[in-house]
């Protein structure tokens, strides 16, 4: 069955928004070390935005938690918070993630709404076509070299996420189809470390 033309247009527009985000991040934060480029897809599967996370934005987010009164049972507090927050609700906080200019998402949002009205994308549908379109867009950008090559590419995780749910094993398996083995191995290690960091924190009352 041929792909609907509207899906092709959505995928191309998704790619355009990622290119813009990459350009904006490199221009506005040239020294940042980006570790993730993700599409945050909501639980209904009818809305998507692209976000970028860097080591520097992660540190700023962790510092905000320090000012809220978080403490660590042992070890370095800032590093414990960085470990916990790295993959916690990606895109949910602008201190930890770059969203780019929201106006850049207007056209792809319009096209997604059009596809939903046509019945091509169903709210809470099991097949999740929007998530698939996001993954395909990232895969095509990767093949074009948009995320670098070699060690540079291994430093960046690409994929989809849902900040309301977080990363589960099924999500990691899907990400493994897009990313180098070393990147996925690091992700699994970081997710395990986040659990230990969570247990090490003392939250403010």
Portion of the chain with pLDDT greater than 90, in percent = 80
Domain locations in the chain as residue ranges = 5-202
Q: Are strands 157-161 and 34-41 parallel, antiparallel or unpaired?
A: parallel
Predicted local distance difference test score (pLDDT) of residue 93: 76
Predicted local distance difference test score (pLDDT) of residue 139: 98
pLDDT digits over 54-78, tens only? 999 999 999 999 999 999 999 999 9
Query: Token match 């033309």: residue?
Result: 5
For the chain, the first-to-last Cα distance in angstroms comes to 56
The H helix count followed by the E strand count for the chain is 8, 5
Predicted local distance difference test score (pLDDT) of residue 15: 98
Counting Cβ atoms within 10 Å, is residue 58 exposed (0-12), middle (13-18) or buried (19+)? buried
pLDDT digits over 131-171, tens only? 999 999 999 999 999 999 999 999 999 999 987 777 777 78
Q: How confident is the model at residue 1 (pLDDT cuts 50, 70, 90)?
A: low
């Amino acid at each position: 069955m041929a792909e609907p033309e509207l899906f092709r247009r959505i995928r191309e527009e998704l790619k355009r928004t990622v290119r813009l985000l990459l350009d904006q991040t490199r221009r506005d934060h040239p020294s940042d070390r980006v570790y993730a480029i993700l599409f945050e897809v909501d639980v209904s599967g009818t809305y998507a935005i692209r976000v970028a996370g860097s080591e520097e934005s992660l540190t700023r987010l962790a510092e905000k938690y320090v000012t809220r009164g978080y403490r660590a049972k042992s070890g370095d507090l800032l590093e414990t918070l960085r470990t916990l927050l790295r993959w916690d609700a990606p895109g949910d906080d602008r201190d930890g993630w770059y969203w780019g200019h929201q106006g850049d998402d207007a056209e792809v949002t319009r096209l997604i709404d059009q596809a939903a009205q046509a019945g091509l994308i169903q709210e809470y549908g099991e097949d999740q076509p929007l998530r698939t379109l996001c993954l395909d867009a990232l895969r095509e950008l990767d093949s074009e070299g948009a995320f670098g090559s070699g060690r540079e590419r291994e430093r960046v995780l690409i994929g989809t996420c849902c900040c309301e749910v977080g990363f589960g094993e099924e999500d990691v398996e899907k990400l493994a189809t897009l990313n180098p083995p070393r990147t996925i191995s690091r992700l699994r290690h970081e997710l395990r470390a986040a659990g230990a960091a969570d247990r090490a924190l003392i939250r403010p009352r």
